[in-house]
Amino acid sequence: MLNYAFKRFLGAWPTLLILIALAFFMIRAAPGGPFDSERHLPPEIEANLRAAYHLDEPLIQQFGRYLVGLTQGDFGPSFQYKDYTVTELIMTGFPVSLRLGGLAMLLAVVVGVSAGSLAALRQNSRTDHAVMSVSMTGISIPNFVMAPLLILLFAVYLGWLPAGGLGNGSAANLVLPVISLALPQIAYISRLTRGSMIEVLRSNFIRTARAKGLPERVVILRHALKPALLPVVSYLGPATAGVITGSVVIEQIFGVPGLGRYFVQGALNRDYTLVMGVVVFFGVLIVVFNLIVDLVYALLDPRVKY
Amino acid sequence: MRTLILAALLAGLVTACERTPELEVTAGVTISPTVLHRGNGTEPDSLDPHKSEGTSTSSIQRDLFDGLVNTAPDGSLEPGAAASWEVSDDRMTYLFRLQPDGRWSNGDPVTAQDFVFSFRRAADPATLSNYSQILAPILNAEAVIRGEMPPESLAVEALDERTLRFRLKGPTPYFLELLTHSMTYPVHRPSVDEHGSRFARPGALISNGAYLLDEWVVQSHVKLVKNPLYREADKVRIETVYFYPIESPATELQRYRAGELDWTETVPHQQLNWIRQNLPEQLHIAPYLGSYFLGFNVLRPPFANQPGLRRALSMVIDRRILTEKVTGGGEMPAYSYIPELPDYEQQVPEWASWPMVERVEKARQLYEEAGYGPANSLVMELRYNTSENHRRICLAIAAMWKQTLGVQTRLLNEEFKVFLENRTQKIVTEAFRAGWIGDFRDPYSFMEILYSTHGMNDTGYAGARVDDLIAASATEPDPATRLRMLADAERSMLEDQPIIPLFFYVSRKMVKPWVKGWQPNLLDYHPSRHIFIDVDLMDGQ
C-alpha cells in the first residue's frame, strides 16, 4: 500500500507540470491583458507596468520564472489586488472555503447516504419515490436559484438568519451557505447510494448472509453498505476537492470570502498570477483527493489490493 | 470508534468556525447608532491612494485620507488638509496653507513636505500607478510620468512647513476639484519607507483622514474606526464604518432588506419596480457624472466618411423609450454627450425636439444620400461587452434601426477584455457601446477623449476644428470663454456624429431612513464623516 502511494506520488508530478503549462499558456493566449480597462493606459505607463511584472519578456522565459518561483512556494504578486500576494489571498480564502465545504460535504454524505439507503431498502415504496423526487428536484434547481430563495425566506421575511457575510463567524452565518452548497450534493449522493445499494442487495453474498440467518441490520450495515459506498467514494474525491475550494455562485450570493471567486474574477481580470495560483492549488488538491479515494477503496473492498 | 472519529471531526469543524476574527456587530438587525454599514460594490484593488482605481476603493480612501480639498455632503468643495488657498491672476500658480492642527494618525504633523513627497511618488513611474496621467495639469508632470524627468522636477514645492505651491502647465479651472482625487492624497513617508508597497494594510497604514484602517478581510469587509487625532474629530459622529464588497446588486438588496446595510452601492434594475412600490422613500436616484453612448469606428467601412449615415442612425433612436422601457432605472435621455454641468451650456442638436415622424423622414433622406435604401440596406455589426443591460439596449436600438431604416444589425457580445481590445485596435469593430465617467465636473473630462491623438479615442475620430478648440481651451485664462470653446467643440463633434449619445447615468441607492447627513450628488461621494444616525427613527423600525 505504501509502495503504491509512493508510486502515485511520483506520478503526480508530471501531471501537475502539464497542468501548470497548459494553464499558463492558455491564460496568456486569451485576448486582452491585466492592464486593459475601460480607461486604457497611456502607452508609456503600460510599458512601464509590463516591465515591472516581467510581461515584456519572452513567454517561455516568463514560464521559467514562474516555475522557479513555484519551487520556492512563491505564486507571485496579484495584478488585481495590489496590496496582496497570491499566496496570501489563497491562504485567507482557503480556510473559509474549507470550513464551508467541509461542513457541506459532511452534511451531504450523512444525509445523502442515509436517504439513498432508505430508498433502496424500500425500493418502489412511497418513501423511495419521495426521496427520489426530492433529490431530482435538488439536482434540477441550480443553487443560484435556491440560495436567494432561502435568503428571502429565512433572512428577509423571517429574520432568523443573516442574509450574508461571515459576521463574527457564528454558526448562524454558516447555516444558509452550507445548506445551499450541500443540497445538490445530497441529491446526487442519495441517487448514487440508492442505485448501488439496490445492486448490492441483489448479489449472492447478501443472499448468503441472509441465508445464514444474520439479522437484517447486520446484513445491511456490515455487508451491504461498504460495497454500496464504492461509487459514492469515487464521486466524493473530486467532489470534495471542488466543494472545499469554494463555489463562486455561493460565495457571491452570500458574500463569503472564499477561494471560488478568485477563479472567475482572476480569469476575467486577466490576473495571470492569481488564476495560476488557484489552478495549481486546485490541481494539487484533486491529485491528493484522488489518491485518498483509491486508498479508501482498499479499505472498503477486500478485492482491491495494492 | 468510528462514531468517535466522526464526533472529533465535527467538533474540529465547529471550533474552526468559532476561530474567525471577532466583530462586535453580528449580521442581522443589531445596528448601533455609531456604526455604519455600507454596501461598496467591488473588492478594493488597493488602499494605496496612488495605485488604486475604481469607485469602490476611493469611497474607502475618502474616509481614510484628507486631500488638500474635501467635498461637502452636496459635493461642493470645502477645505481639507489645506485651510485656505490663493490662486494667481494668470491662474497658473496655486498657494495652499495647510491646516495648523493637521496630524497623521500617529501624531506626526502633516507638513507641506509630506505633500511634496506624495505628489512626487504619485507621478513617479516606479510607483506603478495606473492613474498618474490625472496629474498632467501640474507643470512637468507629463515628463515625469513618462520617465523623461526625475520626480523632483515636478512643480510642487514646500515653501515652508505649512505652505505648498503648485505651478501649472496652463490655467486649469478644475484644478481644485482634481485635488479631491485619491491620486493627490498624502501618504506618510516614514511608513512608506518602512513597509514599501505593503504600507496600505491594517497595522501599517498611517493616514490623515477622519478614520483609521482597522481591519481588512479580503472579499468580506474593510473596517474603519474613528481617528481620535483628526482635526475635526469632535464633529465626526460615526465611530465605526464597515465597507462590504458585494458585487451582485440583488444580493446587496437582500442584505439591505435584512437590515445588514445602511445603504447600498446600487440597486438591481430588475427590482426597481418592486422598490418603487414598496420602499419608495428609501430609493434615491440622482444624476451622475457619466454618459452612455454608441461609438462608430470612423476608420473603416461602413462608417468611414459617412457623417450623414451616422446622424441618420442617431436620429431614429427614441431615447425616451430606451430610458423608460428598456433600462427603466431613471436614466436621463441624452442627445448631447456631456452631462449637465455648472455654467456649461448643453449642446442639444436642433432635431432632438422634432417629432419622431419628422426625424425619421429626415433620417431616411440622409440614409439614402449615403447610398442605402430599401433595396440596398445597411448591414452592420454592433459590439457590446457581455451584460444583460447592454444586450437589451443594443437589441432595442437594432430594432429601432430596422423598423425605421431597414438596417440589418448583427449584435456581437464579447467578453469584456476581448471587447476592449477589439475596440482599441479599431480593426474589426464597426460600432460599439461605450460609457464614460468624468473624473471631475468639467466638460474637459469628457471632451479630451475625442481629441484625435488621445489614447482613449476609440472611434478614431479626428476633427480639426474640435482639436483646435480643445487645445485652445487648455490655455484660455478666462473661464467663461474656455467653457464656450469646449461647448463649440462638443457641438462641432456632434455634427460629425462619431458617437451617438443615448443617456446620462444616474446613481441609484437605497438609504435607510435613519441615515442623516446623506445627500445625493453628481460625483456620488458620501464621506462617512458627514453621516449620523437618528436613533429615534431606528427605534421605530
Amino acid at A247: S
Distance from CA of B360 to the nearest CA of A (A): 33
Same fold: B52-196 with B287-506: no
pLDDT for B269: 86
- Beta-carbon separation of B244 and A165 below 8 A: yes
Question: What's the mean pLDDT when you consider all of chain B?
Answer: 91
Distance, CA of B408 to CA of B526 (rounded, Å) = 45
Helices (H) and strands (E) in chain B, counts: 17, 18
Of A143-147, A176-180, B311-315, B338-342, give the lowest mean pLDDT range: A143-147
The residue ranges of DSSP E strands in B251-395, in sequence order, are 283-296, 332-333, 379-385
Distance, CA of B451 to CA of B525 (rounded, Å) = 28
Report the CATH fold assignment for B287-506. Answer: Dipeptide-binding Protein; domain 3 (3.10.105)
| DSSP class of B263 | B
Look at residue A110 and tell me if it is in a domain. yes
Handedness of CA A196, A197, A198, A203 (dihedral sign): positive
pLDDT for B532: 94
Q: Are A53 and A222 in contact (CB under 8 A)?
A: no
**Chain B residues touching residue A175 (CB < 8 angstroms):** none
Q: How confident is the model at residue B31 (pLDDT cuts 50, 70, 90)?
A: low
pLDDT, tens digit, 9 for 90 and up, residues B478-494: 999 999 999 999 999 99
Residue in this structure with the C-alpha cell 432635431, named with its chain if needed:
B351
Distance from CA of B510 to the nearest CA of A (A): 16
ipTM field: 0.86
pLDDT, tens digit, 9 for 90 and up, residues B439-469: 899 999 999 999 998 888 999 999 999 999 9
Global pTM exceeds 0.90: no
Percent pLDDT > 90 in chain A is 33
pLDDT for B5: 46
Parallel, antiparallel or unpaired: strands B156-160 and B163-167: antiparallel
Q: Are B420 and B429 in contact (CB under 8 A)?
A: no
pLDDT at position B37 over 60: yes
What's the N-to-C CA distance of chain A in angstroms? 5
B526 vs B219: which has the higher pLDDT: B526
- Beta-carbon separation of A159 and B29 below 8 A: yes
**Chain B residues touching residue A80 (CB < 8 angstroms):** 45
pLDDT, tens digit, 9 for 90 and up, residues B319-351: 999 999 999 888 999 999 999 998 999 999 999
Look at residue A45 and tell me if it is in a domain. no
- Beta-carbon separation of A31 and B421 below 8 A: yes
- Beta-carbon separation of B130 and A49 below 8 A: yes
Distance, CA of B297 to CA of B432 (rounded, Å) = 8
- Beta-carbon separation of B254 and A252 below 8 A: no
Chain A residue closest in CA terms to B204: A83
Distance from CA of A171 to the nearest CA of B (A): 7
Distance from CA of B412 to the nearest CA of A (A): 16
- Beta-carbon separation of B220 and A89 below 8 A: no
Residue in this structure with the C-alpha cell 496612488, named with its chain if needed:
B50
CATH for A128: 1.10.3720.10
Look at residue A280 and tell me if it is in a domain. no
Percent pLDDT > 70 in chain A is 99
**Chain A residues touching residue B51 (CB < 8 angstroms):** 82
Look at residue A263 and tell me if it is in a domain. yes
* Closest Cβ opposite residue A49 in set B128, B415, B455: B128
Count how many domains chain A has. 1
Of A94-103, B64-73, B394-403, give the lowest mean pLDDT range: A94-103
Look at residue A233 and tell me if it is in a domain. yes
pLDDT for A292: 86
Instruction: Give the domain extent around A211.
Output: 86-268
pLDDT for A2: 79
- Beta-carbon separation of B147 and A99 below 8 A: no
**Chain A residues touching residue B27 (CB < 8 angstroms):** 162-165, 167, 172-173
pLDDT at position B10 over 70: no
- Beta-carbon separation of B145 and A44 below 8 A: yes
B52 and A CB contact within 8 Å: yes
Q: How confident is the model at residue B83 (pLDDT cuts 50, 70, 90)?
A: very high
Integer-rounded Cα radius of gyration of chain B: 26
Q: Quick one: angle between helices B307-315 and B388-405, nearest 10?
A: 100
- Beta-carbon separation of B220 and A166 below 8 A: yes
Interface test with B, best of A44, A83, A85 (most B CBs within 10 A): A83
**Exposure pattern of B58-92 as b/e (b: 16+ CB <10 Å)?**
bbbbbbbbbbbbbbebebeeebbbbbebebeeebb
Domain boundaries, chain B: 52-196, 287-506
pLDDT for B120: 97
Look at residue A27 and tell me if it is in a domain. no
* Closest Cβ opposite residue A163 in set B43, B52, B260: B260
- Beta-carbon separation of B244 and A83 below 8 A: no
Q: How confident is the model at residue B539 (pLDDT cuts 50, 70, 90)?
A: low
Q: How confident is the model at residue B3 (pLDDT cuts 50, 70, 90)?
A: very low
Distance from CA of B218 to the nearest CA of A (A): 7
Distance, CA of B511 to CA of B520 (rounded, Å) = 10
Q: Which CATH class is domain B52-196?
A: alpha beta
Residue A162: cis peptide before it, omega within 30 degrees of 0: no
Look at residue A298 and tell me if it is in a domain. no
Chain B residue closest in CA terms to A163: B255
Distance from CA of B404 to the nearest CA of A (A): 32
- Beta-carbon separation of B20 and A38 below 8 A: no
Q: How confident is the model at residue B17 (pLDDT cuts 50, 70, 90)?
A: very low
pLDDT, tens digit, 9 for 90 and up, residues A212-244: 988 888 888 888 888 888 889 889 888 888 888
Interface test with A, best of B219, B240, B459 (most A CBs within 10 A): B219
Distance from CA of A27 to the nearest CA of B (A): 12
Distance, CA of B401 to CA of B316 (rounded, Å) = 7
Interface test with B, best of A35, A48, A161, A244 (most B CBs within 10 A): A48
